[in-house]
């Protein structure tokens, strides 16, 4: 449940508490994820989520971002500068 909460809400401990772990305090949730994410902890779902969220972008993700930037840049150039910075 903690790994799912981290996946969905990142570090929003209150949201994780409300949705997944209502019987735990936000401090307990924080300490649990800290301990499960430590270098000394064995592989576990919490550590996997942390690793995935901190990993570099894949080439496919970079390509999609570049496509969006190019398309948005083209749309942005359609507006006169006076309108954009007014």
Looking at residue 81, its pLDDT comes to: 58
Looking at residue 29, its pLDDT comes to: 97
Return all residues near 48 (Cβ < 8 A) that are at least 6 apart: 3
Least confident range from 1-10, 21-30, 68-77: namely 68-77
Going from N- to C-terminal start, the domains of the chain cover: 1-55, 56-86
Sole residue written with tokens 């508490």: 17
How many C-beta atoms surround the C-beta of residue 51 within 10 A? 11
Alpha-carbon gap, residue 85 to 67, rounded angstroms? 25
pLDDT at 85 over 70: no
pLDDT at 84 over 70: no
Looking at residue 53, its pLDDT comes to: 87
For 24-66, the pLDDT digits (tens) are 999 999 999 999 999 999 999 999 999 988 888 889 988 998 8
């Amino acid at each position: 449940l903690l790994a799912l909460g981290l996946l969905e809400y990142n570090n929003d401990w209150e949201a994780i508490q409300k949705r997944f772990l209502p019987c735990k305090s936000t401090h307990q949730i924080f300490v649990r994820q800290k301990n499960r994410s430590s270098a000394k902890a064995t592989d576990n779902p919490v550590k996997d989520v942390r690793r995935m969220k901190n990993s570099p972008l894949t080439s496919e993700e970079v390509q999609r971002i570049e496509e969006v930037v190019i398309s948005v840049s083209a749309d942005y150039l359609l507006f006169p500068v006076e309108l954009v910075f007014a």
